[in-house]
Chains A and B, each alone.
Chain A
């Protein structure tokens, strides 16, 4: 993995964390990304705490150091605390997380590892717990988080060691 950012020239300085990043170079996608990201965190049927569970599971599996360090304030306000975050490990099935939370993490793992391998029993458990709109929301949230964590890794410049925890707002 490259320790040097692969893109650094002519980045803007607007004060917006997304617009001032390398993503700001692709002007046509910035606003659509910000609006879609806003919708994922604010407009879907899942709570922000549930979306954050999937985001952090993805961050740890992709090993995006920035993503792992971030906690979105909207998720904390919705009930996610560090005691829960600490249970987002490979042993989450033995954790004290609720069955609904475990299903979110397991679905995220299927996306990350083997999306064609879901069993009929697991699909049934999902449909008993989640509405169609909730499954779509979870799927799109995982996709978006995975897309941009892989983006951060691909662009290089990722610190080798974990960063301190950072509580921030969802970029607007």
Chain B
């Protein structure tokens, strides 16, 4: 239950707008079937967005199952050997994106492009916008 409805989850609240919920769900689900950015990579970035927002609600949510090691080491990803070069490039990009997208450098964008290509960079940027938004909306709603 939150401050404006008795619904208990973010999705249940979204369902309270029945003219919008189906298209939102299709949009959200489309990010987990991309050819240019693997779901496990996006899940890592989604969880990092949750950490940076100190959102326990989003952190507890599991969209894609990751290894325990990858979840537990995420706050220290830059020093950890459990993450691939691709994951590290995307996590570095994620952190700057959350602080200020105007601060993203060409080198950070190139690092992602060299791993995922042009489409992968665009996919990551779109996905980060969605994760950033879902996290902030859940916080607005009191989760």
Write the residues of chain A forming the contact surface with B, with a CB cutoff of 8 angstroms: 1-2, 4, 6-7, 9-10, 22-23, 25-26, 28-29, 32-33, 35-36, 38-40, 43-45, 62-63, 107, 110-111, 115-116, 118, 123, 126-127, 132-133, 135-137, 139-140, 142-144, 146-148, 150-151, 153-156
Contacts and interface: CB of A to CB of B under 8 A. Distances in A.
Contacts of B35: 28
Nearest to A23: B122
A172 to B, nearest CB: 13
Given A29-B27, A39-B23, A150-B97, A126 B4 contact: yes
Most buried by A among B24, B33, B34, B140: B140
Contacts, number: 156
B118 interface: yes
A141 to B, nearest CB: 9
Contacts of A143: 130, 133-134, 136-137
Contacts of B109: 2, 6, 154, 156
A4 B113 CA distance: 15
B20 interface: yes
B14 interface: yes
Contacts of A150: 97, 101, 125, 128-129, 132
A45 B136 CA distance: 22
Interface residues on B, range: 35 or more
B137 A139 contact: yes
Interface of B: 3-5, 13-14, 16-20, 23-24, 26-27, 29-31, 33-36, 97, 101-106, 109-110, 113, 118-119, 121-123, 125-126, 128-130, 132-134, 136-137, 139-141
Given A36-B27, A150-B128, 9 more contacts: A2-B104, A29-B30, A107-B140, A115-B136, A136-B14, A139-B137, A150-B129, A151-B129, A154-B97
Contacts of B13: 132, 136
A18 to B, nearest CB: 12
Contact of B113 (A6, A63, A153): A6
Nearest to A134: B17
B122 A25 contact: yes
